[in-house]
Amino acid sequence: MKRGFLNKDSSAKCTAATASSPAVEASVAAPTTTTPPAAKPVTSPTFKRGFLNKESRTKHTPSVSDTPAIATSATTPVLTKPVAADFKAVGPVASAPAKSSNTLTAEATPEKGSVKAPSPQSMGISRPEARMCTSEEFHEKARQGAVQRIMTCLPPDTLETSCLFFTGVKERLLACPSWPAPVPKAAQNCYRIGDSLLGGLGLFAVRNIKLRELIVVERPLLIVPTALRMENEIQHLSPEQILHGLIKRMPPDRAAQFCALSNCRRNRDDANGDPLMGIVDTNAISIGNLPGELEMTHGAIFNVISRFNHSCSPSVAGSWDVQSFSYSVRARRDISAGEELTYSYLTSEQLLTPCAERTAFLKGYNFKCKCPSCTDMEPGHSNQSDDNRKRLGMSRTLTVEHSETMFRECQTIIENPKEDVNELERGSLNTLGLMEREQLVDDVICAFHYSCLCKVALATKNEKKARKWALKAADNGRLFNGSDGGFTRSAQYPRQSPWWGRRGCGVAA
């Protein structure tokens, strides 16, 4: 690694990883007799599989209630009706639940009087690679009768979330000590749902919201594995039929909330497709791997959280906590009363690509982004935002690929009296300044530069500054890593796929 990496453009290309999900197949018998929610028939046009862009082999007429009221509070609605017992597929369950690795880590609060420069590991830069089971592994296990799909509603006492799981996920969740933990409490009265100038409904701040404030915490209406979309038919059931089975199992009020969500394919000329699948494609957020027999990304759909509109300079960020089985959305920056709260449907890497690329990534959602960064690219505007993002993208790629070397080099500069630490400081401040101009908070870039600045401050014996940067680094870590102590972190890359912030697969263009 050459010196000067902090200021100079690198030739490294910012490429979004393309982690395609494995194709899978599992045994699922027909859904049991469950009563569908109060429904109005909707004629389904010929289904075109958005995900794989293939014609579905099965056509069917779903029942979707299309005008239920949306709850505008973050609290979970009371269930009105118990859901039928779990439906299990035939065949043996593979193995006994493994010992849970789901231990909660306490949030790191810097002790009074002690300032310690964060290490790259503690800041989440060199995270362990998440592994996805390959299609071969899946099929091998399926051949051995060791993989099944189950439909279930969890947590058992509240049945809030309708889930489609492969073998072992439910068993492992139930085996986790004290699972599920109570859902954390969000701040009171900080948002409302209303008409958005961006499109449809959106969330708006009803008062000033501070950086990192917890805005919404919610258990999902539905969780499905990425693999739901991968096989055309599983024991004569298409993914669409499985999905319909899952919705039928929901308590009617939750099913109504699900069906009221936006479907980005609804008004398209080629609006052929299963409406429920359209809702999944439009609203699912990746929650990374769940602790099952197979490494498998899952997506979750929420009553409130799925209402966030997208911005390329998002004001909120979310994290999944498997222990409380809930998703938390926090402010990425200070937000003013009245502002629309926006989330990014793109990965961190994708956010750092030029406007044209971001537009292509978002094509499947069927809208044109009107955020300041995208508007900057319109005729009559400068292209400054594209330039800024390009530089930030390179900085991120470099940090991801060479974090160890870069940290070592920083250390060498700091420890060598002949080296100019001011130059190091300037470089970091420049990069952070670029990010501020783009109204972005990139977890990797922030982690590295906050740490660098903290180390410089320590080396120059400026404890006040060191504390400031250490606190910023801690905030950054908590904002992006949540508090699940492992599952989401170890599943860093699938957390960003396959739907909002997805890679490799997604809705049809």
Residues lying near ligand SAM in the complex (CB under 6 A) are found at 196, 198-202, 261-262, 264, 282-283, 306-307, 309-311, 365-367, 369-370
Beta strands in 259-364 (DSSP E): 285-289, 297-301, 309-310, 316-321, 326-331, 340-343
Q: Nearest distance from residue 262's CB to ligand SAM, in Å?
A: 3
Cβ 285 to ligand SAM, closest distance in Å?
9
Minimal distance in Å, beta carbon 422 to ligand SAM?
41
> 279 vs 331, which CB is nearer to ligand SAM?
279
Shortest distance, position 281 Cβ to ligand SAM, whole Å: 9
d(CA 177, CA 247): 29
Gap between the Cα atoms of 257 and 223, Å rounded? 14
Angle at the Cα of 299 from the Cα atoms of 364 and 343, rounded to 5 degrees: 60
Collapsed DSSP state (helix, strand, coil) of residue 42: coil
Nearer to ligand SAM, 219 or 358 (CB): 358
Beta-carbon count within 10 A of 105 CB = 11
307/502 with CB nearer ligand SAM: 307
Nearest CA to 319 among 215, 246, 433? 215
Judged by beta carbon, residue 63 or residue 306, the one nearer ligand SAM is 306
Q: Identify whether the C-beta of residue 129 lies closer than 8 Å to the C-beta of residue 282.
A: no
Nearest C-alpha neighbor of 110 from the set 473, 455, 483 = 473
Query: C-beta of 204: minimal distance to ligand SAM in Å?
Result: 12
* Shortest separation between residue 195's beta carbon and ligand SAM, angstroms: 9
CB 322, min distance to ligand SAM, A: 22
| The CA-based dihedral angle spanning residues 351, 504, 501, 495, taken in that order and rounded to the nearest 10 degrees | -120
What is the token pair recorded at 323? 């222990």
Residue carrying structure tokens 């909330």: 257
- What minimum distance in Å lies between the beta carbon of 201 and ligand SAM? 4
Phi, psi of 407 (to 5 degrees): -65, -40
What is the rounded CA–CA span in Å between residue 496 and residue 346?
Answer: 8
Three-state SS annotation for 129-143: CCCCCCHHHHHHHHH
- Residue closer to ligand SAM, measured from CB, 262 or 323: 262
- Closest separation in Å from C-beta 64 to ligand SAM: 15
Of 265 and 391, nearer to ligand SAM (C-beta) is 265
Q: CA 300, CA 365: separation in Å to the nearest integer? A: 17
Nearer to ligand SAM among residue 308 and residue 407 (C-beta): 308
Per-residue CA distances from 353 to 125, 350, 504 (Å) = 20, 5, 16
- Select 265 or 449, whichever has its Cβ closest to ligand SAM: 265
Tell me how far, at minimum, the Cβ of 467 lies from ligand SAM, in Å: 37
Q: Which is nearer to ligand SAM, 156 or 338 (CB)?
A: 338
What is the smallest separation between the CB atom of 177 and ligand SAM, expressed in angstroms?
34
* Residue among 233, 64, 94, 247 nearest 171 (CA): 94
* Residue with the shortest CB distance to ligand SAM: 200
Taking the least distance from each CB to ligand SAM, the nearer of 171 and 253 is 253
Contact in structure between 206 and 145 (CB atoms under 8 Å): no
Closest to ligand SAM by CB, 275 vs 485, is 275
Q: In what order do the strands lie in the sheet with 309-310?
A: 191-195, 201-205, 340-343, 309-310
Strands 149-154, 161-166: pairing is antiparallel
